[in-house]
Amino acid sequence: MNEKEIEILEILEDNARVPMEVLADMVDLSVDEVEKIIKSLEEKDIILSYSSVINWDKTAGKDSVAAMIDVKVTPKREVGFDEIAERIYRFPEVKAVYLMSGAFDLSVQIEGKTMKEVAFFVSNKLSTLDSVLSTTTHFLLKKYKHDGVIFEPEQKDKRIVVSP
Amino acid sequence: MKEVQQQYLSKTASKLKPSGIRKFFDLASQMDNVISLGVGEPDFVTPWNVCEAGYASLESGYTAYTANAGLLELREEISSYLSDQFSLSYSAESQIILTVGASQAIDLAFRSIIDPGDEVVIVEPGFVAYAPAVTLAGGIPVSLETKAEDEFKLTRESLEKAITKRTKAILLCFPSNPTGATMSKEELQSVTDVIEKHDLLVLSDEIYAELTYDETHYSIARLDGMKERTILISGFSKAFAMTGWRLGYVTGPEEIIAAMLKIHQYTMMCAPTIAQHGALEALQNGRDDLEKMKKSYRQRRNYLVKAFNQIGLSCHMPGGAFYAFPSIQSTGMTSDEFAEKLLEEERVAVVPGHVFGAGGEGYIRCSYATSIESLQEAVKRIGVFVERHRAE
């Protein structure tokens, strides 16, 4: 991976909506060159998707409940944790799965419409999986910062408008 | 009443002109929806670990004065920083003073070296405070005009021309506010014999030293014969996004620093203690943040300079600082007219080049220390403005 590719990735990770011409100028390449680089990064599954960070609390009519679940599992010979991780992440309500060091094995983030829905998932779908030994569910009360984005930013530029 | 008050003013204070920037500040602050490219400071807030260090110092009760020259621990850190980053060697005990911003260091330097009638050559376009600081110290500022065709670098010929029998010192600021110009080792080397021949002191304001994008900064103090005649001024404002902390420093030959320390102890006592604790953290653990900010400035520089050239405002590629300095001569307007109309008609604030002294007319200073989205919007508005006025 060369320096320009990393620079492009950093810019896109921060703002995927930056216009191609602007991005090209920023990294001092032509639009063609940047498009080619991005295409190849997409093909290599280095860039996986372009998503937005949304504060759903501010929208009306789409309430949801999120929880982080600590899961202890029995790893299997040869496939280790990968097989059970896959069986968990294939559920659409699962937003993230991480293998962790420490007191438990998998950290599973899940989102549902209601608390009941989340509880149903844990008791009926997750806990019933063969390799799952135990679960501890933590409901998320408030998001302050997600993926490096602060949810209630102070956006006002505090600098004086013209200075030497 | 006003006239009565005026009779008490000193001649020096009465004659001092307010900065040309003031007018634009007043205009722009009364308007809504202004995109400002007129700000001479980073758009980043101070890195959080530095702020934390400030809080922690208060919690630990560090609320008293420090030594006049500043915390010894910080001076030691500056000494090794200068050595690591710029290969300069200065003694923490006898050659470094922490000041209230680099601005105070400039004032101290002039007050320590100027006798009435002494001339100081100021490389212009340059920071607005240099010439007034010379005047306030009783000296005579002499403009040395740098030109766009030299990429606003200092040349031998222009230096020779500016020197008279009364010249005592020359003030350099590279990377430059407002032009962004930088000087390489070789370019600096080409003027050092002139400086030596006329036995001049050099005041080198290197506040933007960390913000160079194509080549690493080279300090004039590193060149043979220069260290003993160079007063080096820098600070934390630009590199570490700490403008409001007001902390700078000055290093140089022992005798001169000792004289500056005398003035400093009577007029300032010491630099703010909380800021010194913050600066210590910045030097010890601030490198990653600095590099990130620098990368971001570089990207925005590349975008803005190219965009100016595309809309017909020719602009050299500035090697450092965070300013683009495009020519507006193609519009037929003075820089003042351009800046005023642009603000009124398109709500974009820039600083007219003439406020930076000789050679600044015909140019505007645009800071790219603002978000890429704002820069895009500003470019759009300036493009419309230039198109409209060129058609006239």
Domains B2-46+288-391 and B48-286 share a fold: no
Please indicate whether, in this complex, the C-beta atoms of B25 and A161 are within 8 angstroms of each other. yes
List residues bridging with A132 in a β-sheet: A73
Q: What is the pLDDT of residue B391?
A: 60
Rounded Cα distance between B321 and B318, Å, is: 8
Crossing angle for the helix pair B372-391 and B287-310, to the nearest 10 degrees = 20
- Residue B90 contacts residue B96 (beta carbons within 8 Å): yes
- Tell me: the pLDDT tens digits for B24-70? 899 999 999 999 999 999 999 999 999 999 999 999 999 999 999 99
| Cβ proximity of B365 and B356 under 8 Å | yes
Looking up tokens 């043979």 gives: B224
Q: Please state the rounded mean pLDDT for residues B192-202.
A: 97
Domains and CATH numbers, chain A: 3-43 (1.10.10), 63-142 (3.30.70.920)
| Structure confidence at residue A57 (pLDDT) | 86
Q: Fold for domain B48-286?
A: Aspartate Aminotransferase; domain 2 (3.40.640)
Give the class (CATH, top level) of B2-46+288-391.
alpha beta
Beta-carbon pairs below 8 A across chains A and B: 63
Cα of A66 to nearest chain B Cα, Å: 29
Asked if omega into B116 is within 30° of 0 (cis), the reply is no
The structure tokens listed for B183 are: 């000087």
Structure tokens at B155: 């040349």
Q: What angle do CA A84, A88, A91 make, to 5 degrees?
A: 150
Location of structure tokens 């202890």? A72
Of B53, B70, B41, B35, give the one whose Cα is nearest residue B271. B70
> pLDDT: is A59 or B172 the higher one?
B172
Residues of A in contact with B128 (CB under 8 A): 164
Closest partner residue to A161 (CB to CB) among B38, B177, B295 is B38
Report whether pLDDT(A155) > 80. Answer: no
Q: Is the pLDDT of residue B20 over 90?
A: no
Q: Where are chain B's structural domains?
A: 2-46+288-391, 48-286
Interacting residues of B374 by C-beta distance below 8 A, sequence separation 6+: B35
Q: Is the ipTM of this complex over 0.95?
A: no
Q: Which of B372, B377, B379 to mutate to test the interface with A (most CBs of A within 10 A)?
A: B372
From B193's Cα to the closest Cα of chain A, the distance in A is: 32
Average pLDDT, chain B: 96
Residue A108 pLDDT exceeds 90:
yes
Q: Residue B372: which of A10, A18, A158 has the nearest Cβ?
A: A18
Q: Between chains, do A25 and B302 touch, taking CB under 8 Å as contact?
A: yes
Residues in chain B closer than 8 A to A26 (CB atoms): 299-300, 302-303, 372
A45/chain B closest Cα distance in angstroms? 25
**In contact, A163 and B322? CB cutoff 8 Å:** no
